[in-house]
Amino acid sequence: MVILKGIPSIISPDLLYALARMGHGDEIGLGIPELLQAILKLFPLDTYVSCPAAVMDLVNEDKAKGLQTPIWEKYQELLSNTGCAKPLEKIERFAFYERTKASFAVVATGETALYGNLILTKGVIPAGEKGE
């Protein structure tokens, strides 16, 4: 793999190409904290939507059991660290599948956390601000 300065090594050339090709409002599905952290260094989140990051909501049986989703707290922390104070959107299971099918790109990872899948909505870099 070719390594470039300033590009996290976890970002493959194909993923970098997909991120660069995405337009404002395009979505990408992914699932792993280290990858999310790397992507957020390159990828502006959409500031014009109420929730630029979405997860699959718990199914009723898991809600009834009180299933915990600590991965969501990690995602929220990483998003907050980049200045995104908006909450994670929670999407019903089958609606999440449909939204994922419509995403610009889906990244297969080794994430094993329950309800660890994540959809990000790309924003724009404001005029006059350099992409660094």
pLDDT digits (tens, 9 = 90+) for 12-69: 888 889 999 999 999 887 667 889 999 998 889 999 999 999 999 999 999 999 999 9
Question: Does some domain include residue 115?
Answer: yes
Question: Does some domain include residue 3?
Answer: no
Task: Quote the domain boundaries for residue 91.
Answer: 24-121
Laid out side by side, the sheet with 118-121 consists of 89-91, 53-56, 118-121, 27-30, 105-106
Cβ burial, residue 51 (10 Å; 0-12/13-18/19+): middle
Query: Is 14 a known active-site residue?
Result: no
Question: Does some domain include residue 7?
Answer: no
Residue 81 has pLDDT above 90, yes or no: yes
Q: Taking the model in full, what pTM does it have?
A: 0.84
Query: Is 26 a known active-site residue?
Result: no
Q: For residue 114, what pLDDT band results from cuts at 50, 70 and 90?
A: very high
What CATH code is carried by the domain that includes residue 72? 3.40.1650.10
Question: Does some domain include residue 53?
Answer: yes
From 14, 17, 48, 97, the catalytic residue: 97
AA letter at 5:
K
From 14, 17, 24, 48, the catalytic residue: 24
Q: For residue 2, what pLDDT is reported?
A: 55
From 17, 46, 48, 57, the catalytic residue: 46
Q: How many domains in the chain?
A: 1
Give 29 or 86, the one with higher predicted confidence: 86
Query: Is 17 a known active-site residue?
Result: no
